[in-house]
Structure 1
Amino acid sequence: MAQTQVGWIGLGSMGIGMSKNLQKYLITISAPPLIYTNRTLSRGESLKELGGIPVESVEEVAKKSEIIFSCVSNDAILQETTEKIIASGRIEGKIYVDCSTVHPDTSIKIAKQISEAGGQFVASPVFGASPVADNGKLLFVTAGPSSATSRIEPYIKDVMGRAIMPMGEDVSRSSLLKIAGNILVVSFMEVISEAHVFAEKTGLGSEILETMIGDNFGPVLGSYSKRLTTGAYAPESNGKAGFDAPLAMKDARHAINCAGAVGVKLPVSEVGLRNLESAEAYANEIGGRAIDSSSMYGTLRRVAGLDFYTDLCLMRDGKGLPN
């Protein structure tokens, strides 16, 4: 294992933290340094400082690597990445591990393409936001050939993730579990946003509500509340969201699509999606600012007659002080 060459594709808000932790691990086992690429290669400067080797293309990563990880933003980019990996040359015996959140049908299609080309595909979406990725505490949900999932485990457990949930060989199952998890996340953000607007309009106040959420419902929901009260739901001008709203909307649409295929309704997800779409439309109206997956809070504030941005956000952005 020490001489196995590992490659990485995709350095978004999740991929950069994951790949840095992987490179740190490779150093400890005296393995070859991580080879990586990204559409904007400069995103990998901090990875390069750790010893990672940048290359210009997906094809070069695939050609040089025996195990290839990727974390990309959507199904179309995953399909494009797969085609480039296959076009890179012989991939017999290589393992392709994708950590993106995609539709189960996409995972099935990619697995078939990689298998027909002689490689093995592992669908391995992750649970956790970018700070969790930075800390190497993600939850990995893996599905694919057992020989491949066992081989990649040392690169995941206690390296990029705190735990692995094995889902067998059917790659659609890991995608379905990730989508089920996202149903919960979107729903939690929607109802916590509603509760905060309620607290502000009734005079109860967000501070006491947040204390109750953390004490009564635990640190996870408490952290969701803090995305609202710290202003993370609506980053400053030229700022970057922790998890971009367009990605959350993509995930919600996948959930609604999968549910509809089996005759299930997801009314809370549908409401959350509509509020995210409204938040995106408003952000575009005011100059195309980035918004987080929790930005339905801004939509609900506007519906209640409040500003999209809290006083904290307005002060942060130099737009005025509260009276």
Structure 2
Amino acid sequence: MVDTPQPLRVGWIGTGRMGFAMARRLARSGINLTVWNRTRSKAEPLAGDGARVVERIADLGGCDVVFTMVASSPDLEEVLAGPEGLLRKAEPKPQIVVDCSTVSVETSAAMRTTAAKEGVQFLAAPVSGNDRVVAAGKLSIVASGPRETFDRVEPLLRTIGSAAIYAGDGEIARLVKICHNLLLAAVIQSVAETAVLAERAGVPRATYLEFINASVMGSMFTRYKTPSLVYLDWTPTFTLELLRKDLDLGLAAARALDVPMPVAAVTHEVVQAALGRGHRGVDFAVLLLEAARNAGFEPAPETAQVDDGLGGNS
């Protein structure tokens, strides 16, 4: 008689904007999901999708795989290795930890070592997209660690997103994601500057962005940021503070590897200046507002209907 593999029991730590959307895709697919978040009320709606919400990280004991999606390197260290962390308190320990956060290579390596001491496999699996991209099923994931670990959790990754790419051993996925976010910063700043130039010449932002999105320069990113740039809607999907954190990580990696990055360095200064002017807790598309003000005018929201490329018009 052939044994039928049992479905994986999955735990989830961190239900901010991204973590909530990602965990919801697992819960709605019928995965046996147990969720913890520091502020329990932010995780409670997932109970309506079939997830079990628990009070303590230790309550994730017994899960086969635990995902983490937190804001920073110190947060990851706390939820995994802190006094009440998963690797200290959960019994039995999970077989695999999959971290989808954007953290430093050093923190990732330290958590991998800590997990190994507890007999737990660790997969670095940072993601590309925002909560609307997750909801549309278009999230991209890049992963690194043992190949067999990736193969085991790949079905879960492909439930969360549309692409799960194996990059290699160790922490190489962290560097790939940091490079991605350096490009993200340069692109949003370039789009902001060129949209302001076009507007200064009398071209509506909606018209300029419609052309860009239809051209070889268009991308999923330029499409889903178009409503923010046209309507001047700074509701956060990814804040300037988080963008600065990733620029810091990227420039530190560049220094360590002796790679000059003049565009990233200038973009870092632009982001820092915008933060200094008080743009905190808002979406990083607010860089358009600063570009316009630097050009001597105050942009106004436009009323044209635009497509976000995620299955709905705005």
**1: CA distance, partners of 2:189 / 2:261:** 13
Equivalent-residue separation in structure 2 for 1:140 and 1:261 (angstroms): 25
Tell me the C-alpha RMSD between the 2 structures.
2.0
2:248 is aligned with 1:248: no
Q: 5 Å matches for 1:1-323?
A: 1-25=5-29, 27=30, 33-61=32-60, 63-83=61-81, 84-90=85-91, 94-157=95-158, 159-170=159-170, 172-216=171-215, 217-220=217-220, 221-232=222-233, 234-235=234-235, 241-283=236-278, 290-307=281-298, 310-312=299-301
The total of aligned residue pairs comes to 294
> Does the 8 A contact of 2:251 with 2:261 survive in 1?
yes
Pick closer, same or farther for the CA change 1:135–1:205 going to 2, 3 Å.
Answer: closer
State percent identity of aligned pairs. 28
Q: Give the CA deviation at 1:91.
A: 5.4
1:227 is displaced (CA, Å) by 2.9
What's the CA shift for 1:150? 1.4
Q: 1:319 matched to which residue of 2?
A: none
**Consecutive unaligned residues in structure 1, runs of 5 or more:** 236-240, 314-323
Superposition TM-score, scaled by structure 2 size = 0.87
How far is the alpha carbon of 1:244 from its aligned partner? Answer: 1.8
Name the amino acid aligned to 2:49: L
Q: Which moved more, 1:139-148 or 1:88-97?
A: 88-97
Secondary structure of the corresponding residue to residue 105 of structure 1: helix
Asked whether the equivalents of residues 10 and 70 of structure 1 are also in contact (C-alpha less than 8 Å), the reply is: yes
State the alpha-carbon separation in 2 of the partners of residues 271 and 9 from structure 1: 35
What secondary structure sits across from 2:301 in the alignment?
helix
Inter-CA distance 251–87: structure 2 relative to 1 (3 Å threshold): same
Question: 1:77 deviation in Å?
Answer: 0.3
Shift of 1:93: 6.0
Tell me the distance in 2 between the aligned counterparts of 1:130 and 1:19. Answer: 11
Return the letter of the residue paired with 1:23: A
Q: Which amino acid aligns with 1:257?
A: A
Cα displacement string for residues 170-209 of structure 1 (whole angstroms, at most 9, x for unaligned residues): 2x11001111111111111010000111122222332321
Deviates more, 1:189-198 or 1:202-211: 202-211
Where 1:14 maps in the other structure, the secondary structure is: helix
Q: Which moved more, 1:113-122 or 1:137-146?
A: 137-146
User: TM-score, with normalisation over the residues of structure 1?
Assistant: 0.85
Tell whether the 8 Å contact from 1:182 to 1:252 is kept in structure 2 after alignment: yes
Q: Which secondary structure state, in structure 2, belongs to the residue aligned with residue 166 of structure 1?
A: strand
Contact conserved, 2:232 with 2:300, CA < 8 A, in 1? no
- Secondary structure at the aligned position of 2:284 is classed as coil
| Conservation of the 8 A alpha-carbon contact between 1:35 and 1:52 | yes
Residue by residue, what CA displacement relative to the aligned partner does 1:213-268 show, whole Å, maximum 9, x if unpaired? 11112242333344311323x23xxxxx0112211111111111101111222222
1:256-308 deviation per Cα after TM superposition (whole angstroms, max 9, x unaligned): 11011112222222222222222223236xxx6x311222222212212223x
Distance 2:212 2:205 in 1: 10
The 3-state SS of whatever aligns with 2:209 is helix
Contact 1:86 1:114 in 2 (8 A): yes
CA contact (8 A) 2:102 2:126 kept: yes
Amino acid at match of 1:165: I
Structure 2 residues not aligned, in runs of 5+: 303-314
Q: Name the aligned partner's letter for residue 37 of structure 2.
A: N
- Distance across 1 between alignment mates of 2:164 and 2:156: 11
The C-alpha deviation readout for 1:78-125, integer Å capped at 9, x for no partner, is 111111111114555610000011111221111111001211100000
> Does the aligned pair in 2 maintain the 1:210–1:226 contact within 8 Å?
no
Deviation at 1:58, TM superposition (A): 1.8
Letter in 1 for 2:86: I
Query: What is the aligned partner in structure 2 of residue 320 from structure 1?
Result: none
Find runs of 4+ consecutive structure 1 residues off by over 6 angstroms. Answer: none
Residues 22 and 134, structure 2, Cα contact 8 Å, conserved in 1? yes
Give the partner amino acid of 1:311.
A
